[in-house]
Amino acid sequence: MMGDTTGLQINIGVAGLVRFMPMHLLLEEGGRVISAGPTLMRVLAGQEVTGARFEDLFEVRAPGSVVLVTDLVQRAGQRFRLVPHHNRRVGLRGLGLRLAGTEMVLLNLSFGIDLIAAVREYALTDADFAATDLAMEMLYLAEANAAVTNELRALNLRLEGARMLAEEEALTDPLTGLRNRRAADLVLERLCASRAAFGVMHLDLDYFKAVNDTLGHAAGDFVLENVGRILREQVRAEDCAARIGGDEFVIILPGRTDAQVLQTIATRIIARVSEPMEFEGSPCKISGSIGIVRSSDLTAPDAAQVLVASDRALYAAKHAGRGQAVLLSGECG
């Protein structure tokens, strides 16, 4: 059946061309258009196509320095790229062939990677493509990909939100809304590692145990919440106020190493904490002692050393009588 087909001539006619190659261009050897496929006609809409010269309709982008269709088909083995002169946004690519035994040249074109732009530009439908063309699949894929990417982006945002919330919760003391011990450690580690200057206050409430014992845990919690509110009011946004134990608090103040300033802040906090509070009609009288240390007074401190030093300063404050703030300078450790 399948003998030697090299010499076989096939006549598919212009109607066949239209069906099989809706983007073909049939030219006279001289370069004038005989006919164009219906989809290509949509690309060239608004121009006189039949009889027009190839070089007036298209610019050849590759191969380089080719203008005329005769030069183009001499490189028939290569693919070429064109842009229509009147709409340079949509590129075309294709193959060319001199039709044996005739004085005609046949080009078959396709949109290549500019498919999506072309479909939009010329409002093409699936009827504009040959049934064998993968245009539909490419459009489908582009849209399916965009949908998947959007879903992934949305998922990422939701996960990131959940992560931030979880992180926030992991670093927050739920009762007071202040930072917790872990958060304070992280801040101190970061400041120590970057050798930044900072001040630390270690606050311990006085008479808190008495409130807890006589008025109960609800009163104790009420007092702690109040202290939390006071500390939030007294520190700057860049400071870190943390509850690190039952009635023990740490305030880390980046950039604050002036003894006078630290002393003033501490005194103000003690004054606020010592103001009378009332829980369900019963007065809760507490006060606070504060030990202060500065990074500048420690040589190459780490987080643990800072806390040991601040604890020592706190002990000195308690020793000096309740309701005091004591700054320990000089080497302690």
Q: Which of 45, 152, 193, 196 binds another protein (CB under 8 A)?
A: 152
Q: Does 127 bind another protein (CB under 8 A)?
A: yes
In this structure, are residues 287 and 270 in contact, taking their beta carbons and an 8 Å threshold? yes
Choose between 15 and 123: whose C-beta lies nearer to another protein.
Answer: 123
* Residue list 97-126, contact with another protein (CB under 8 A): 116, 119-120, 123-126
Q: Which stretch binds another protein (CB under 8 A): 29-37, 136-144, 180-188, 262-270?
A: 136-144
Instruction: Determine the number of helices (DSSP H) and then strands (DSSP E) in the chain.
Output: 11, 13
Encoded one letter per residue, x for contact with another protein by CB under 8 A and - for no contact, window 205-244 reads ----------------------------------------
Cβ neighbours, 10 Å, residue 194: 9
Q: How far apart are CA 238 and CA 253, in angstroms?
A: 7
Percentage helix, strand, coil, to 5, in the chain? 45, 25, 35
DSSP state of 332: -
Q: Which of 76, 113, 134, 155 binds another protein (CB under 8 A)?
A: 155
Q: Does 160 bind another protein (CB under 8 A)?
A: no
Q: Does 136 bind another protein (CB under 8 A)?
A: yes
Q: Does 145 bind another protein (CB under 8 A)?
A: yes
Phi, psi of 163 (to 5 degrees): -65, -45
Q: Does 147 bind another protein (CB under 8 A)?
A: yes
The alpha carbon of 39 is separated from its chain's Cα centroid by a whole number of angstroms, namely 41
Contacts for 266 with CB less than 8 Å, ≥ 6 apart: 201, 290, 292, 325
At closest approach, how far in Å is the CB of 29 from another protein? Answer: 36
Given the rule CB under 8 A, which residues bind another protein?
Answer: 116, 119-120, 123-127, 136-137, 139-141, 143-145, 147-148, 151-152, 155, 158
